[in-house]
């Protein structure tokens, strides 16, 4: 068994209620109830941060059950990477007002106790419910990059970013972080190499990338009373990508229309409405499908581009043996030729990469930022 098979113990919760399970479940009170629940996570290799992630997810699931919501706990593991399960339209409950009232290490376990209100309804657009799920995802850093002619995407990006920021997301100003990465993301090929996504994610300093194409077209005249207004239609096709692995976790389309006195203002208003719709949808999607496993606390993350699992392990062992690391390096994921290694180091990302090279690892630095590096292992 490969060393990180213990990832199977990571449980990413979803509150899925099948018709049969509902029929067998006890009656649920109409009013929402405040509950308290404790979750536990196993500490492996001294990694308390990962154990806390697991404990928080476990506490969320137990709180739902304490409130009378049937929860089917699922773990979807592919190549030893635990992925977030989708929350289906049959979801019957969620938490709001989540507060951590106690936490700490207990031997080989990490315990987290939360207090929350259980709501017996689909998540919908409840900001508090979205925020509770977002907390499980570690408040990922999100970069938006939409492509369109004549700068038409700018108001869509701005409105979508405002919605995300308003719900507590860290929205990255791509042009300030990396103008080159912004340009490449806007032209990203949907069927392209996921390693390019990884490199762009590092350059953009993002955890989640939302990319897509915007099209705004003029409509016909619209009569409102005695006024004749110009109309416009805006459409967006988008994809949501996890930067650390290049994995696509969602794809879809949104559209909006508007009418105004001038054609230019109608187009701008349609773009703004489109951005607000897209931002709201993505805001609800990310915490449902973006795994806490990829959003854990780390000081440095090394992304290894190699089709060989054994090569990724060699990099892991070399990093563990490096000065200033003291064994604190863990394989977080290996998927489609991409390995993700978390490192707790008292030195910089560049220094960790230099340690690898000094130890004889033949590599090419694909991208480098303050706390993340993408490297390609050369044969």
Residues 145 and 279 in one domain: yes
Sign of CA pseudo-dihedral 69, 284, 256, 225:
positive
* Domain-terminating residue out of 120, 136, 152: 136
Range of the domain at 81: 3-136
Q: How many CB atoms lie within 10 A of CB 24?
A: 9
Residue 123 has pLDDT above 80, yes or no: no
Percentage of the chain lying above the pLDDT 70 cut? 77
Whole-model pTM: value is 0.62
Residues 146 and 11 in one domain: no
For residue range 209-265, list pLDDT tens digits in order: 999 999 999 998 999 888 999 999 999 999 998 887 777 878 899 999 999 999 999
Position 333 in a domain: yes
Structure tokens given for 43: 């500490």
Q: Furthest-apart CA pair in the chain: how many Å?
A: 78
- For residue 78, the SS3 value is strand
Residues 149 and 279 in one domain: yes
Residues 145 and 259 in one domain: yes
Residues 128 and 150 in one domain: no
Residues 180 and 244 in one domain: yes
Position 295 in a domain: no
Q: Given this model, what pLDDT does residue 288 score?
A: 64
In sequence order, what E strands does 120-267 have? 141-147, 170-171, 208-218, 222-224, 227-242, 247-260
Position 311 in a domain: yes
Residues 226 and 356 in one domain: no
Distance CA 160, CA 166 (A): 10
Average pLDDT over residues 295-302: 60
- Tell me which of 17-31, 138-152, 327-341 is least confident: 17-31
- Among the listed residues 153, 155, 303, 164, the one whose alpha carbon sits nearest the alpha carbon of residue 240: 164
Residues 159 and 59 in one domain: no
Position 294 in a domain: no
Residues 172 and 266 in one domain: yes
Residue 297 has pLDDT above 70, yes or no: no
Measured CA angle at 142 (ends 140, 147), to 5 deg:
160
Count of domains observed in the chain:
3
Distance CA 150, CA 234 (A): 14
* Domain-terminating residue out of 136, 165, 188: 136
Residue 377 has pLDDT above 50, yes or no: yes
* Domain-terminating residue out of 110, 136, 162: 136
For residue range 154-193, list pLDDT tens digits in order: 999 999 999 998 887 889 888 776 777 778 888 888 777 7
Distance CA 106, CA 115 (A): 20
Residue 374 has pLDDT above 60, yes or no: yes
Sign of CA pseudo-dihedral 172, 174, 177, 182:
positive
For residue range 18-56, list pLDDT tens digits in order: 223 333 333 334 457 899 999 887 776 677 776 787 787
Distance CA 58, CA 179 (A): 40
- For residue 75, the SS3 value is coil
**Which domain CATH number covers 177?**
3.40.50
Q: Given this model, what pLDDT does residue 66 score?
A: 84
Distance CA 328, CA 100 (A): 27
Position 93 in a domain: yes
DSSP β-bridge partners for residue 239: 211, 251
Residues 80 and 151 in one domain: no
Residues 182 and 63 in one domain: no
Residues 94 and 201 in one domain: no
């Amino acid at each position: 068994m490969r060393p990180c098979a213990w990832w199977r113990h990571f449980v990413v919760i979803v509150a899925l209620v099948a018709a049969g399970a509902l029929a067998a479940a006890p009656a649920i009170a109409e009013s929402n109830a405040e509950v308290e629940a404790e979750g536990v996570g196993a500490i492996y290799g001294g990694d308390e941060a990962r154990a806390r992630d697991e404990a928080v997810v476990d506490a969320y699931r137990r709180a739902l059950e304490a409130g009378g919501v049937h929860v089917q706990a699922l773990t979807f593991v592919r190549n030893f990477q635990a992925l977030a399960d989708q929350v289906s339209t049959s979801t019957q409950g969620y938490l709001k007002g989540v507060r951590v009232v106690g936490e700490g290490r207990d031997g080989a376990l990490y315990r987290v106790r939360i207090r929350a209100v259980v709501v017996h309804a689909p998540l919908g657009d409840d900001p508090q419910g979205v925020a509770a799920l977002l907390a499980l995802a570690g408040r990922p850093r999100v970069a938006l990059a939409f492509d369109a002619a004549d700068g038409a995407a700018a108001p869509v990006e701005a409105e979508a970013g405002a919605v995300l920021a308003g719900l507590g997301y860290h929205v990255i100003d791509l042009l300030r972080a990396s103008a080159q990465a912004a340009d490449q993301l806007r032209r990203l090929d949907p069927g392209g190499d996921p390693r390019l996504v990884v490199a762009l994610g590092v350059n953009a300093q993002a955890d989640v990338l939302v990319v897509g194409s915007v099209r705004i077209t003029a409509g016909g005249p619209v009569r409102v009373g005695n006024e004749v207004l110009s109309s416009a239609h805006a459409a967006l096709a988008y994809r949501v990508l996890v930067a650390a692995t290049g994995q696509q976790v969602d794809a879809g389309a949104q559209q909006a229309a508007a009418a105004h006195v001038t054609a230019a203002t109608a187009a701008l208003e349609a773009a703004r409405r489109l951005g607000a719709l897209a931002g709201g949808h993505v805001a609800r999607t990310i915490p449902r499908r973006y795994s806490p496993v990829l959003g854990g606390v780390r000081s440095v993350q090394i992304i290894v581009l190699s089709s060989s699992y054994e090569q990724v392990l060699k990099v892991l062992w070399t990093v563990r043996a490096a000065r200033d690391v003291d064994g604190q390096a863990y394989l977080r994921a290996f998927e489609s030729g991409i390995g993700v290694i978390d490192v707790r180091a008292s030195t910089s990302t560049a220094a960790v990469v230099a340690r690898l090279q000094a130890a004889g690892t033949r590599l090419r630095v694909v991208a480098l930022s303050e706390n993340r590096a993408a490297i390609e292992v050369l044969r």
